[in-house]
Amino acid sequence: AQKVTQAQTEISVVEKEDVTLDCVYETRDTTYYLFWYKQPPSGELVFLIRRNSFDEQNEISGRYSWNFQKSTSSFNFTITASQVVDSAVYFCALSDPTNQAGTALIFGKGTTLSVSS
Amino acid sequence: DVKVTQSSRYLVKRTGEKVFLECVQDMDHENMFWYRQDPGLGLRLIYFSYDVKMKEKGDIPEGYSVSREKKERFSLILESASTNQTSMYLCASSLSLQSNQPQHFGDGTRLSIL
């Protein structure tokens, strides 16, 4: 069965620290997609990144970087030099091609990141 | 930018009431979704729709129904609200049937059933 595990429930850091959010997934499929979303206190989930199962290149976008390792079924997210505005709940998600629409996502339970000044 | 609009940010209803949560998207997306979000449980899929008048059950459809009469609008209905349906409800849409399409979310509706 498809499953996404975010083992870290809450993380607290001080501004300018680097922080890594872990995501481990399970799937039987050979083709799948992984996503990260950010949910700030305002409530709206914001799409951050999509990665397909054939592309294991790491990606960097400003202070954000993602490390996809198929061998360990992990898709970890690192924020460099964290800022207070990074405080949010972060969700990792896996596409579920087994359902009829093929687009439903399976979400992890989220990691709450608190960055203090 | 995609805009997904949920009709209410906060809603308070009474046990036994019929409750309607409305969601509208403005990008002609094929797919629409309703999730509920609870502390410690993450997001759980209630229902989704991949076309007008088409709907599929998600992981937790009991106590809910949906309606999609127009492509841009997807309504979640609590037939007879109960206190265990107090939650944050999130609507989302995505472009097509391909599984690589990201979902775009509304701001959420925080529903309290008294």
Strand partners, B35: B45, B90
The pLDDT value given to residue B97: 64
Interface membership of A45 toward B (CB under 8 Å): yes
pLDDT at site A36: 96
Q: Do B103 and A47 touch (CB under 8 A)?
A: yes
B24-37 exposure pattern, b = at least 16 Cβ within 10 A, e = fewer: bbeeebbbbbbbbb
Q: Choose the mutation target among A38, A105, A106, A112 for the interface with B, i.e. most B CBs under 10 Å.
A: A105
Mean pLDDT by 10 residues, chain A (117 residues): 92 97 92 92 90 83 91 95 96 77 79 96
Select from A103, A106, A111 the residue whose CB has the most chain B CBs within 10 Å, as the one to mutate to test that interface.
A103
* The pLDDT of residue A31: 83
| Interatomic CA distance for residues A44 and B23, integer angstroms | 13
Q: Is the pLDDT assigned to residue B95 strictly greater than 90? A: no
The pLDDT of residue A102 is 53
Residue A42: predicted pLDDT: 86
Which tokens belong to B18? 């019929």
Three-state secondary structure call for residue B11: strand
Give residue A107's pLDDT. 92
Cα dihedral B8, B45, A85, A25, rounded to 10, equals 180
pLDDT of residue A61: 85
The distance from CA A78 to its chain's CA centroid, rounded to whole angstroms, is: 9
Element (DSSP H or E) covering residue B87 = strand B87-94
Average pLDDT score over residue span B75-95: 95
Q: Residue B42: its chain A contacts at CB < 8 A?
A: 91, 107-110
- CB of B48 within 8 Å of any CB in chain A? yes
Find the CB nearest A43 among B58, B97, B107: B107
The C-alpha angle A54, B48, B110, rounded to 5 degrees, equals 110
Q: Which of residues B39 and B100 earns the better pLDDT score?
A: B39
pLDDT of residue A28: 86
d(CA B71, CA B91): 14
pLDDT confidence of residue A30: 83
Distance from CA of A35 to the nearest CA of B (A): 8
Tokens 């009991």 sit at which residue?
Answer: B62
pLDDT at B10: 95
Question: Across all residues in chain B, what is the average pLDDT?
Answer: 92
How wide is the angle at C-alpha A97 spanned by C-alphas A91 and A99, nearest 5°? 100
Neighbours of A54 (CB within 10 A): 9
Q: What is the pLDDT of residue B36?
A: 96
* B52 in reach of chain A (CB within 8 A): no
SS3 for B28-82, per residue?
Answer: CCCEEEEEEEECCCEEEEEEEEEECCEEEECCCCCCEEEEEEECCEEEEEECCCC
pLDDT tens digits for range B42-73: 899 999 998 898 898 988 999 999 999 999 99
- What value, to the nearest 5°, has the Cα angle with vertex B96 and ends B92 and B98? 110
pLDDT at res. A75: 95
